[in-house]
Structures are given as C-alpha cells and as structure tokens.
Amino acid sequence: MKCPKCNVDLVSEARHKITVQACPSCRGMWFERKELEALEDEAFDFGEHAKGTLVPSSTPSSLKCPECAADLSRFQYRFYDLEMEFCEDQHGYWLEADEDTRVLELMRQEEKDMQRKLSVEDRWAATLRRMRSGSLLERLRERLH
C-alpha cells in the first residue's frame, strides 16, 4: 500500500500498542479495518463518550484510500478533537503524523481528574479498535448519506 499523500510504500509499525501501516516520509498512519478485535472492546464502557462524538463532515478530502483508491471522507472524533479520514468502503482510517501522540497527551491530562484503572495506552488502543470495527465504519457511512 502507498501513502495517500506521498505515494511512498507504507511500512508496518507498532505505535502505542497498535500496529499501523505508517508512511516513512510524512509519518501519517493507515489503520486497517479489523473485524475480530471489536469484540474485545465490550470490556470498555464507551456508552457516554460514544454519544454524539462522531461528526462526519462534508469537507471533501483530497486523499485516496490506499486500498481501493476511492476518495476518503473526513470526520471528526469530537471527544478528542481528532480529525481523521476514512474510506466509505470500510477499508480503514488515515491519521496524520503524531495525532495519536496528541490524543494520548489529552488522555493523560484527563486522567489526572479521574481515577482510571486502564492505562492511557490501553484506552487509546481500545478506542482505535472500536473505530476500526466494521459496525462503526458502517455507522459513519450512514451518517454521511
């Protein structure tokens, strides 16, 4: 797969407990859809956070899906003010360089206020696993149309 921005080959890389396809040039990351991992997330309570947190936007993205070359759509994960692009054919998400680290920092700040059992890295991994599940991609696509 090639980077949608630089057309450089993406390489497998582990970041904060998650394996991603990363671009060696712009450091962007492609998160492939993962079907099976979604089950694991039942252990985490996203009930309140999940409500109204996904904001698909009509802003067209100039990026193309590294898997199918279709135009990606932009959406915002409002809870962490995180903007991502996703493939409407449910292939995955594109995240800019170091956006994941920024979210982890936000989670760390929030952690000071709340007593959390889970580590910040575990929560980020769980958030991504949930985002990469087919059902969530399906919901995003529905909201856009």
Task: Give residues with Cβ within 8 angstroms of 125, minimum separation 6.
Answer: 16, 17, 18
One residue of 1, 26, 63, 104 binding Zn ion per CB under 5 A: 26
One residue of 25, 38, 44, 118 binding Zn ion per CB under 5 A: 25
Q: Does 63 bind Zn ion (CB under 5 A)?
A: no
Nearer to Zn ion, 50 or 70 (CB): 70
One residue of 18, 20, 87, 131 binding Zn ion per CB under 5 A: 87
Q: What is the DSSP string of 44-60?
A: S--HHHHTT-EEEEEEE
CB 104 within 8 A of CB 121: yes
Q: Does 3 bind Zn ion (CB under 5 A)?
A: yes
Which residue's entry shows tokens 């989670």?
107
User: How many residues line the site for Zn ion (CB under 5 A)?
Assistant: 13
Q: Does 20 bind Zn ion (CB under 5 A)?
A: no
Residue 85 CA to residue 94 CA, distance in Å, equals 5
Q: Under the rule (CB under 5 A), what is the footprint of Zn ion?
A: 3, 5-6, 23, 25-26, 28, 65, 67-68, 87, 89, 91
